[in-house]
Protein backbone atom coordinates (compact mmCIF):
# COMPACT_ATOMS: atom_id res chain seq x y z
CA UNK A 1 0.00 0.00 0.00
CA UNK A 2 1.35 3.46 -0.94
CA UNK A 3 1.87 5.50 2.24
CA UNK A 4 3.96 8.49 1.22
CA UNK A 5 3.71 10.90 -1.69
CA UNK A 6 6.89 9.41 -3.11
CA UNK A 7 5.36 5.93 -2.88
CA UNK A 8 2.41 7.20 -4.92
CA UNK A 9 4.73 8.79 -7.46
CA UNK A 10 6.68 5.54 -7.81
CA UNK A 11 3.40 3.71 -8.41
CA UNK A 12 2.70 6.12 -11.29
CA UNK A 13 6.31 6.28 -12.50
CA UNK A 14 5.77 4.69 -15.91
CA UNK A 15 2.98 7.08 -16.83
CA UNK A 16 4.79 10.17 -15.53
CA UNK A 17 7.89 9.15 -17.47
CA UNK A 18 5.92 8.62 -20.66
CA UNK A 19 4.20 12.00 -20.29
CA UNK A 20 7.54 13.85 -20.45
CA UNK A 21 7.58 14.32 -24.24
CA UNK A 22 3.90 15.37 -24.15
CA UNK A 23 4.67 18.08 -21.58
CA UNK A 24 7.51 19.36 -23.75
CA UNK A 25 5.39 19.35 -26.91
CA UNK A 26 2.58 21.22 -25.16
CA UNK A 27 4.89 23.76 -23.57
CA UNK A 28 3.36 23.17 -20.14
CA UNK A 29 2.34 20.23 -18.00
CA UNK A 30 -0.48 18.26 -19.55
CA UNK A 31 -3.74 18.06 -17.65
CA UNK A 32 -3.03 14.40 -17.00
CA UNK A 33 0.39 15.16 -15.51
CA UNK A 34 -1.13 17.78 -13.21
CA UNK A 35 -3.89 15.33 -12.23
CA UNK A 36 -1.33 12.70 -11.24
CA UNK A 37 0.49 15.21 -9.04
CA UNK A 38 -2.78 16.23 -7.40
CA UNK A 39 -3.71 12.61 -6.76
CA UNK A 40 -0.34 12.00 -5.14
CA UNK A 41 -0.65 15.14 -2.99
CA UNK A 42 2.66 16.61 -4.12
CA UNK A 43 1.74 20.26 -3.64
CA UNK A 44 0.24 19.65 -0.18
CA UNK A 45 3.44 18.34 1.37
CA UNK A 46 4.44 21.69 2.90
CA UNK A 47 0.87 22.96 3.24
CA UNK A 48 -0.39 23.58 6.81
CA UNK A 49 -2.58 20.87 8.30
CA UNK A 50 -5.25 23.46 9.03
CA UNK A 51 -5.96 23.44 5.29
CA UNK A 52 -5.51 19.79 4.43
CA UNK A 53 -1.74 19.83 4.19
CA UNK A 54 0.74 17.25 5.41
CA UNK A 55 3.38 19.51 7.04
CA UNK A 56 5.91 16.96 5.84
CA UNK A 57 9.57 17.20 6.78
CA UNK A 58 11.26 19.38 4.14
CA UNK A 59 13.74 16.56 3.51
CA UNK A 60 10.85 14.31 2.45
CA UNK A 61 9.66 17.08 0.14
CA UNK A 62 13.13 17.40 -1.43
CA UNK A 63 13.46 13.66 -1.93
CA UNK A 64 10.03 13.55 -3.55
CA UNK A 65 10.91 16.37 -5.94
CA UNK A 66 14.11 14.55 -6.89
CA UNK A 67 12.17 11.37 -7.53
CA UNK A 68 9.68 13.16 -9.79
CA UNK A 69 12.39 15.09 -11.66
CA UNK A 70 14.22 11.84 -12.39
CA UNK A 71 11.09 10.73 -14.28
CA UNK A 72 10.55 14.02 -16.09
CA UNK A 73 12.44 17.24 -15.56
CA UNK A 74 9.54 19.63 -16.18
CA UNK A 75 7.22 17.75 -13.83
CA UNK A 76 9.87 17.73 -11.11
CA UNK A 77 10.59 21.43 -11.61
CA UNK A 78 6.94 22.44 -11.27
CA UNK A 79 6.62 20.17 -8.22
CA UNK A 80 9.59 21.89 -6.60
CA UNK A 81 8.61 25.47 -7.42
CA UNK A 82 4.84 25.32 -6.92
CA UNK A 83 5.26 22.86 -4.05
CA UNK A 84 7.16 25.36 -1.89
CA UNK A 85 4.54 28.11 -2.12
CA UNK A 86 2.22 26.59 0.52
CA UNK A 87 5.19 26.86 2.90
CA UNK A 88 5.03 30.66 2.68
CA UNK A 89 1.23 30.76 2.51
CA UNK A 90 1.31 29.26 6.00
CA UNK A 91 2.65 32.67 7.19
CA UNK A 92 -0.10 34.64 5.49
CA UNK A 93 -3.19 36.14 7.08
CA UNK A 94 -5.78 33.41 7.83
CA UNK A 95 -8.24 35.36 5.66
CA UNK A 96 -6.20 34.82 2.49
CA UNK A 97 -5.50 31.20 3.42
CA UNK A 98 -9.25 30.66 3.55
CA UNK A 99 -9.70 32.49 0.23
CA UNK A 100 -7.12 30.23 -1.43
CA UNK A 101 -7.90 26.86 0.16
CA UNK A 102 -11.36 27.26 1.70
CA UNK A 103 -13.23 25.62 -1.19
CA UNK A 104 -10.43 23.48 -2.63
CA UNK A 105 -7.42 22.38 -0.58
CA UNK A 106 -5.73 21.27 -3.82
CA UNK A 107 -5.56 24.82 -5.16
CA UNK A 108 -2.08 25.52 -6.55
CA UNK A 109 -0.24 28.82 -6.14
CA UNK A 110 2.22 30.19 -8.70
CA UNK A 111 4.94 32.87 -8.45
CA UNK A 112 7.55 34.57 -9.23
CA UNK A 113 8.93 36.46 -6.26
CA UNK A 114 11.21 38.76 -8.26
CA UNK A 115 10.21 42.34 -7.33
CA UNK A 116 9.17 43.40 -10.83
CA UNK A 117 6.03 45.28 -9.77
CA UNK A 118 5.18 48.49 -7.93
CA UNK A 119 2.61 48.61 -5.14
CA UNK A 120 1.12 52.05 -4.47
CA UNK A 121 -0.69 52.42 -1.11
CA UNK A 122 -4.40 53.21 -1.30
CA UNK A 123 -7.27 52.90 1.16
CA UNK A 124 -7.28 49.32 2.53
CA UNK A 125 -4.37 48.03 0.48
CA UNK A 126 -2.37 48.69 -2.68
CA UNK A 127 -2.78 49.31 -6.39
CA UNK A 128 -0.35 46.93 -8.04
CA UNK A 129 1.13 46.75 -11.55
CA UNK A 130 4.03 44.96 -13.17
CA UNK A 131 5.34 42.40 -15.65
CA UNK A 132 7.06 39.19 -14.53
CA UNK A 133 8.79 36.33 -16.33
CA UNK A 134 9.17 32.66 -15.42
CA UNK A 135 5.88 31.72 -13.70
CA UNK A 136 6.39 27.96 -13.63
CA UNK A 137 3.30 25.75 -13.77
CA UNK A 138 1.14 28.85 -13.92
CA UNK A 139 -1.56 27.38 -16.21
CA UNK A 140 -2.54 24.97 -13.44
CA UNK A 141 -2.57 27.57 -10.63
CA UNK A 142 -5.46 29.75 -9.47
CA UNK A 143 -3.53 32.12 -7.18
CA UNK A 144 -0.07 33.67 -7.37
CA UNK A 145 2.67 35.18 -5.21
CA UNK A 146 4.25 38.19 -6.94
CA UNK A 147 7.17 40.29 -5.79
CA UNK A 148 7.00 44.05 -5.85
CA UNK A 149 8.51 47.21 -4.41
CA UNK A 150 6.57 49.62 -2.26
CA UNK A 151 5.83 52.86 -4.13
CA UNK A 152 4.84 56.30 -2.86
CA UNK A 153 1.62 58.14 -3.63
CA UNK A 154 3.04 59.20 -7.00
CA UNK A 155 3.89 55.65 -8.00
CA UNK A 156 7.65 56.03 -7.52
CA UNK A 157 9.65 53.40 -5.66
CA UNK A 158 10.38 54.47 -2.10
CA UNK A 159 13.95 54.71 -0.84
CA UNK A 160 15.40 52.68 0.73
CA UNK A 161 13.62 49.97 -1.27
CA UNK A 162 10.99 47.92 0.56
CA UNK A 163 10.13 44.58 -1.04
CA UNK A 164 6.72 42.95 -0.69
CA UNK A 165 5.16 39.60 -1.56
CA UNK A 166 1.61 40.16 -2.85
CA UNK A 167 -1.00 37.43 -3.28
CA UNK A 168 -3.45 37.69 -6.18
CA UNK A 169 -6.31 35.53 -7.50
CA UNK A 170 -6.33 34.37 -11.13
CA UNK A 171 -8.87 37.06 -12.06
CA UNK A 172 -6.37 39.82 -11.23
CA UNK A 173 -3.50 38.87 -13.55
CA UNK A 174 -2.94 37.88 -17.17
CA UNK A 175 -0.85 34.94 -18.39
CA UNK A 176 1.01 35.78 -21.61
CA UNK A 177 0.43 32.61 -23.60
CA UNK A 178 3.24 32.82 -26.19
CA UNK A 179 5.97 33.85 -23.75
CA UNK A 180 7.68 30.49 -23.08
CA UNK A 181 9.87 29.34 -25.98
CA UNK A 182 13.11 27.99 -24.54
CA UNK A 183 15.69 25.25 -25.04
CA UNK A 184 15.03 23.33 -21.83
CA UNK A 185 12.31 22.82 -19.23
CA UNK A 186 9.84 23.56 -22.01
CA UNK A 187 7.18 21.50 -20.26
CA UNK A 188 7.14 23.79 -17.21
CA UNK A 189 5.08 26.44 -19.02
CA UNK A 190 6.97 29.17 -17.16
CA UNK A 191 5.11 32.01 -18.85
CA UNK A 192 5.03 35.77 -18.31
CA UNK A 193 2.54 37.42 -15.96
CA UNK A 194 1.08 40.91 -16.35
CA UNK A 195 -0.81 42.88 -13.69
CA UNK A 196 -2.40 46.28 -14.37
CA UNK A 197 -3.70 48.35 -11.46
CA UNK A 198 -5.01 45.40 -9.47
CA UNK A 199 -6.27 46.22 -5.99
CA UNK A 200 -4.54 44.01 -3.43
CA UNK A 201 -6.05 44.26 0.06
CA UNK A 202 -3.70 44.59 2.99
CA UNK A 203 -4.36 41.04 4.24
CA UNK A 204 -2.90 39.63 1.02
CA UNK A 205 0.49 41.29 1.46
CA UNK A 206 3.56 39.99 3.32
CA UNK A 207 6.67 42.19 3.79
CA UNK A 208 9.61 40.33 2.30
CA UNK A 209 11.92 41.20 5.19
CA UNK A 210 9.53 39.45 7.60
CA UNK A 211 9.75 36.28 5.53
CA UNK A 212 13.55 36.43 5.35
CA UNK A 213 14.21 37.09 9.04
CA UNK A 214 11.58 34.64 10.29
CA UNK A 215 9.29 37.28 11.79
CA UNK A 216 6.35 36.19 9.63
CA UNK A 217 6.51 32.62 10.95
CA UNK A 218 6.77 33.80 14.56
CA UNK A 219 3.87 36.25 14.19
CA UNK A 220 1.76 33.47 12.68
CA UNK A 221 2.43 31.35 15.77
CA UNK A 222 3.81 28.44 13.75
CA UNK A 223 5.62 25.84 15.84
CA UNK A 224 6.53 23.23 13.21
CA UNK A 225 10.30 23.66 12.63
CA UNK A 226 9.72 23.36 8.89
CA UNK A 227 8.21 26.85 8.91
CA UNK A 228 11.12 28.28 10.90
CA UNK A 229 13.65 27.44 8.18
CA UNK A 230 15.31 30.47 6.59
CA UNK A 231 13.64 31.54 3.35
CA UNK A 232 17.07 31.22 1.70
CA UNK A 233 17.05 27.52 2.59
CA UNK A 234 13.39 26.70 1.91
CA UNK A 235 12.84 28.63 -1.34
CA UNK A 236 15.84 27.24 -3.30
CA UNK A 237 15.17 23.73 -2.01
CA UNK A 238 12.58 22.73 -4.60
CA UNK A 239 14.59 24.24 -7.46
CA UNK A 240 17.91 22.61 -6.59
CA UNK A 241 16.23 19.30 -5.75
CA UNK A 242 14.67 19.34 -9.21
CA UNK A 243 18.03 19.95 -10.90
CA UNK A 244 19.70 17.13 -8.98
CA UNK A 245 16.77 14.83 -9.74
CA UNK A 246 17.04 15.69 -13.45
CA UNK A 247 20.71 14.68 -13.43
CA UNK A 248 19.70 11.42 -11.75
CA UNK A 249 17.25 10.90 -14.59
CA UNK A 250 19.95 11.63 -17.16
CA UNK A 251 22.21 9.11 -15.42
CA UNK A 252 19.50 6.44 -15.47
CA UNK A 253 18.79 6.95 -19.17
CA UNK A 254 22.52 6.98 -19.95
CA UNK A 255 22.98 3.65 -18.17
CA UNK A 256 20.00 2.16 -19.98
CA UNK A 257 21.28 3.40 -23.35
CA UNK A 258 24.88 2.31 -22.77
CA UNK A 259 23.98 -1.16 -21.52
CA UNK A 260 23.89 -2.70 -25.00
CA UNK A 261 25.69 0.00 -26.99
CA UNK A 262 28.64 -0.70 -29.24
CA UNK A 263 30.82 2.16 -30.54
CA UNK A 264 31.60 2.72 -34.24
CA UNK A 265 35.00 1.17 -33.53
CA UNK A 266 33.24 -2.03 -32.48
CA UNK A 267 33.92 -1.74 -28.75
CA UNK A 268 31.10 -2.68 -26.44
CA UNK A 269 30.65 -0.06 -23.73
CA UNK A 270 30.67 -2.73 -21.07
CA UNK A 271 34.22 -3.54 -22.19
CA UNK A 272 35.43 0.07 -22.35
CA UNK A 273 37.28 0.91 -19.08
CA UNK A 274 37.29 4.65 -19.83
CA UNK A 275 33.50 4.80 -20.30
CA UNK A 276 32.94 2.70 -17.19
CA UNK A 277 35.24 4.92 -15.13
CA UNK A 278 33.36 8.04 -16.28
CA UNK A 279 30.04 6.38 -15.46
CA UNK A 280 31.08 5.47 -11.92
CA UNK A 281 32.63 8.85 -11.25
CA UNK A 282 29.52 10.67 -12.45
CA UNK A 283 27.25 8.43 -10.39
CA UNK A 284 29.33 9.13 -7.29
CA UNK A 285 29.36 12.89 -7.92
CA UNK A 286 25.60 13.08 -8.43
CA UNK A 287 25.05 11.02 -5.27
CA UNK A 288 27.40 13.37 -3.39
CA UNK A 289 25.46 16.41 -4.63
CA UNK A 290 22.23 14.86 -3.38
CA UNK A 291 23.77 14.03 0.00
CA UNK A 292 25.22 17.54 0.40
CA UNK A 293 21.87 19.23 -0.27
CA UNK A 294 19.92 16.94 2.07
CA UNK A 295 22.55 17.12 4.83
CA UNK A 296 22.56 20.91 4.61
CA UNK A 297 18.78 20.97 4.93
CA UNK A 298 18.81 18.57 7.87
CA UNK A 299 21.37 20.70 9.73
CA UNK A 300 19.28 23.83 9.20
CA UNK A 301 16.18 21.98 10.39
CA UNK A 302 17.94 20.73 13.52
CA UNK A 303 19.08 24.27 14.39
CA UNK A 304 15.58 25.74 14.25
CA UNK A 305 14.04 22.66 15.89
CA UNK A 306 16.31 23.26 18.88
CA UNK A 307 14.97 26.80 19.21
CA UNK A 308 18.11 28.52 17.92
CA UNK A 309 18.35 31.10 15.16
CA UNK A 310 20.30 30.38 11.97
CA UNK A 311 23.03 33.01 11.78
CA UNK A 312 23.90 34.94 8.64
CA UNK A 313 27.15 32.98 8.39
CA UNK A 314 25.30 29.68 8.60
CA UNK A 315 22.83 30.85 5.97
CA UNK A 316 25.70 31.87 3.70
CA UNK A 317 27.34 28.46 4.04
CA UNK A 318 23.99 26.83 3.43
CA UNK A 319 23.49 28.76 0.20
CA UNK A 320 27.03 27.95 -0.88
CA UNK A 321 26.35 24.26 -0.31
CA UNK A 322 23.07 24.41 -2.20
CA UNK A 323 24.52 26.25 -5.21
CA UNK A 324 27.57 23.99 -5.38
CA UNK A 325 25.39 20.87 -5.20
CA UNK A 326 23.54 21.93 -8.34
CA UNK A 327 26.72 22.74 -10.25
CA UNK A 328 28.40 19.54 -9.08
CA UNK A 329 25.53 17.37 -10.29
CA UNK A 330 25.27 19.08 -13.69
CA UNK A 331 29.03 18.91 -14.30
CA UNK A 332 28.94 15.20 -13.55
CA UNK A 333 26.01 14.74 -15.92
CA UNK A 334 27.96 16.53 -18.67
CA UNK A 335 30.77 14.00 -18.39
CA UNK A 336 28.48 11.08 -19.19
CA UNK A 337 26.38 12.88 -21.79
CA UNK A 338 29.61 13.66 -23.66
CA UNK A 339 30.25 9.91 -23.72
CA UNK A 340 26.73 8.90 -24.72
CA UNK A 341 27.43 9.03 -28.45
CA UNK A 342 25.86 11.13 -31.19
CA UNK A 343 22.60 9.19 -31.12
CA UNK A 344 21.97 10.48 -27.60
CA UNK A 345 21.31 13.88 -29.19
CA UNK A 346 18.43 12.60 -31.28
CA UNK A 347 15.12 14.04 -30.18
CA UNK A 348 13.67 10.60 -29.48
CA UNK A 349 16.42 9.84 -26.95
CA UNK A 350 15.49 11.07 -23.43
CA UNK A 351 19.16 11.76 -22.59
CA UNK A 352 19.19 14.99 -24.59
CA UNK A 353 15.97 16.26 -22.97
CA UNK A 354 17.30 15.69 -19.44
CA UNK A 355 20.58 17.35 -20.47
CA UNK A 356 18.74 20.45 -21.78
CA UNK A 357 16.45 20.57 -18.74
CA UNK A 358 19.34 20.36 -16.27
CA UNK A 359 21.26 23.21 -17.90
CA UNK A 360 18.16 25.39 -18.06
CA UNK A 361 17.54 24.71 -14.37
CA UNK A 362 21.13 25.59 -13.55
CA UNK A 363 20.61 28.97 -15.22
CA UNK A 364 18.04 29.99 -12.60
CA UNK A 365 19.12 33.03 -10.61
CA UNK A 366 19.15 30.97 -7.42
CA UNK A 367 22.12 29.00 -8.79
CA UNK A 368 24.35 31.98 -9.68
CA UNK A 369 27.42 31.41 -7.50
CA UNK A 370 29.19 34.79 -7.63
CA UNK A 371 27.68 36.86 -4.82
CA UNK A 372 26.82 33.76 -2.75
CA UNK A 373 30.38 32.45 -2.76
CA UNK A 374 31.74 35.95 -2.15
CA UNK A 375 29.51 36.50 0.87
CA UNK A 376 30.28 33.05 2.24
CA UNK A 377 34.04 33.60 1.90
CA UNK A 378 33.81 36.93 3.73
CA UNK A 379 31.91 35.34 6.61
CA UNK A 380 34.55 32.58 6.75
CA UNK A 381 37.12 35.36 7.13
CA UNK A 382 35.08 36.92 9.91
CA UNK A 383 34.14 39.91 7.76
CA UNK A 384 30.49 40.95 7.56
CA UNK A 385 29.48 41.37 3.89
CA UNK A 386 28.18 44.82 2.97
CA UNK A 387 24.50 45.57 2.53
CA UNK A 388 22.99 45.17 -0.93
CA UNK A 389 23.15 42.51 -3.62
CA UNK A 390 25.84 40.48 -1.85
CA UNK A 391 23.41 39.74 0.95
CA UNK A 392 20.51 39.06 -1.39
CA UNK A 393 18.84 35.69 -0.88
CA UNK A 394 21.14 34.78 2.05
* Full set of structural domains in the chain with CATH: 5-101 (1.10.540.10), 109-207 (2.40.110.10), 229-391 (1.20.140.10)
The residue among 390 and 253 whose pLDDT is bigger is: 253
Give the strand pairing for 109-110 and 125-135.
Answer: unpaired
**pLDDT score of 1 more than 50:** no
Distance, CA of 24 to CA of 219 (rounded, Å): 42
- Over the stretch 289-347, which tens digit does the pLDDT of each residue have? 999 999 999 999 999 999 999 999 999 999 999 999 999 999 999 999 999 989 899 99
Q: Which of 189, 188, 140 is nearest to 38 (CA)?
A: 140
Q: Which of 250, 373, 359, 245 is nearest to 320 (CA)?
A: 373
The C-alpha torsion from 66 through 72 and 73 to 76, rounded to 10°, is -50
pLDDT value at position 267?
Answer: 81
- Over the stretch 359-387, which tens digit does the pLDDT of each residue have? 999 999 999 999 999 999 999 999 988 77
- Over the stretch 40-98, which tens digit does the pLDDT of each residue have? 999 999 999 999 999 999 999 999 999 999 999 999 999 999 999 999 999 999 999 99
Q: What is the chain's mean pLDDT, rounded? A: 95
- Over the stretch 331-349, which tens digit does the pLDDT of each residue have? 999 999 999 989 899 999 9
Distance, CA of 366 to CA of 261 (rounded, Å): 37
pLDDT value at position 38?
Answer: 98
Amino acid sequence: MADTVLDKIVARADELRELGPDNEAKGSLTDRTAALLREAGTMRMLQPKTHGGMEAHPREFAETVMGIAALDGATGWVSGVVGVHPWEMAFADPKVQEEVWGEDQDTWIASPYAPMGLARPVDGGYLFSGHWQFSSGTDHCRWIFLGGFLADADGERVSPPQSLHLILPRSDYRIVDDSWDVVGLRGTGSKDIVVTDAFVPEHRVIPYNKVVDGTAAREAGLTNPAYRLPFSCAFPLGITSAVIGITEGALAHHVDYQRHRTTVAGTRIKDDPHALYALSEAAAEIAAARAALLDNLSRMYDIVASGREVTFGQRAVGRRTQVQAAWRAVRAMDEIVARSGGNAMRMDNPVQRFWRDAHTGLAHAIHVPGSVFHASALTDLGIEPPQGPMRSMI
